[in-house]
Chains A and B, each alone.
Chain A
Amino acid sequence: MACSFRHAGSGLLGISRIKTFMFGEGKNQVLTCFQCDEAACVKVCPVTALRRNESTGAIEVDENRCIGCGLCSIACPFGHMSHDANGGIAVKCDLCGGDPACAAFCPSKTLEYK
Chain B
Amino acid sequence: MTTDKTINLEINGRFFQGREGMTILDVARREGIPITTLCHHDALEPVGSCRLCMVEITHPDWGGWKGLVTACLYPIEEGLKVTTDNEEIRRVKRTILDLLLARCPESEVIQKLAAEYGVTTTSYIKNEVETTCILCGLCVRVCEAKGCRAISAAGRGIGKAIAIPFKQPPPDCIGCASCAHICPTGTIKYQDTGNVRKIWGHSFEMAKCTICGRPVMPEKQLAFEADKSGLDPDYLRICPVCSQQKTVETIRSSFGISPVESGDSVCDAGVTPVAHR
Chain A residues within 8 Å of B, Cβ to Cβ? 13-15, 19, 21-25, 27, 29, 31, 43-44, 46-49, 62, 64-71, 73-85, 87-89, 91
Contact of A83 among B42, B255, B271, B277 (CB under 8 A): B277
Q: A31-B244, A79-B239, A89-B181 are in contact. List 17 more A-B contacts (CB 8 A).
A: A21-B248, A21-B271, A25-B257, A31-B251, A44-B229, A46-B146, A48-B43, A64-B42, A65-B42, A74-B217, A77-B246, A78-B244, A79-B244, A79-B246, A82-B275, A85-B275, A91-B274
Chain B residues within an 8 Å CB radius of A77:
235, 243, 246
How far apart sit A84 and B44, CA to CA, in the bound complex (Å)?
21
Chain B residues within an 8 Å CB radius of A75:
229, 231, 236
Tally A-B pairs: CB < 8 A. 118
Contact of A82 among B142, B178, B247, B273 (CB under 8 A): B273
Among B145, B229, B238, B274, residue most surrounded by chain A Cβ atoms (within 10 Å)? B274
Are B274 and A15 in touch, CB under 8 angstroms? yes
Are B145 and A47 in touch, CB under 8 angstroms? yes
How far apart sit A63 and B186, CA to CA, in the bound complex (Å)?
18
Are A69 and B178 in touch, CB under 8 angstroms? yes
Q: Does B57 count as interface, using CB distance less than 8 angstroms?
A: no
How far apart sit A84 and B248, CA to CA, in the bound complex (Å)?
23
Q: For B176, give the chain A residue with the smallest CB separation.
A: A69
How far apart sit A81 and B241, CA to CA, in the bound complex (Å)?
9
How far apart sit A84 and B241, CA to CA, in the bound complex (Å)?
14
Chain B residues within 8 Å of A, Cβ to Cβ? 29, 41-44, 142, 145-147, 176-178, 181-182, 216-217, 225, 229, 231, 235-236, 238-248, 251-252, 255, 257, 270-275, 277
Q: How far is the CB of B236 from chain A (nearest CB, A)?
A: 5
Q: For B254, give the chain A residue with the smallest CB separation.
A: A29
Chain B residues within an 8 Å CB radius of A23:
251-252, 255, 257
Chain A residues within an 8 Å CB radius of B244:
19, 31, 78-80
How far apart sit A70 and B215, CA to CA, in the bound complex (Å)?
12
How far apart sit A77 and B242, CA to CA, in the bound complex (Å)?
10
Contact of A13 among B257, B272, B273 (CB under 8 A): B272
How far apart sit A70 and B146, CA to CA, in the bound complex (Å)?
12
Q: For A87, give the chain B residue with the smallest CB separation.
A: B181
Take A46-B145, A67-B142 as given contacts and tell me if A76 and B274 are in contact as well, using a CB distance cutoff of 8 Å: no
**Pairs across A and B, CB under 8 Å, 6 listed:** A31-B248, A66-B43, A67-B145, A68-B178, A68-B182, A69-B176
Are B42 and A62 in touch, CB under 8 angstroms? yes
Are A88 and B181 in touch, CB under 8 angstroms? yes
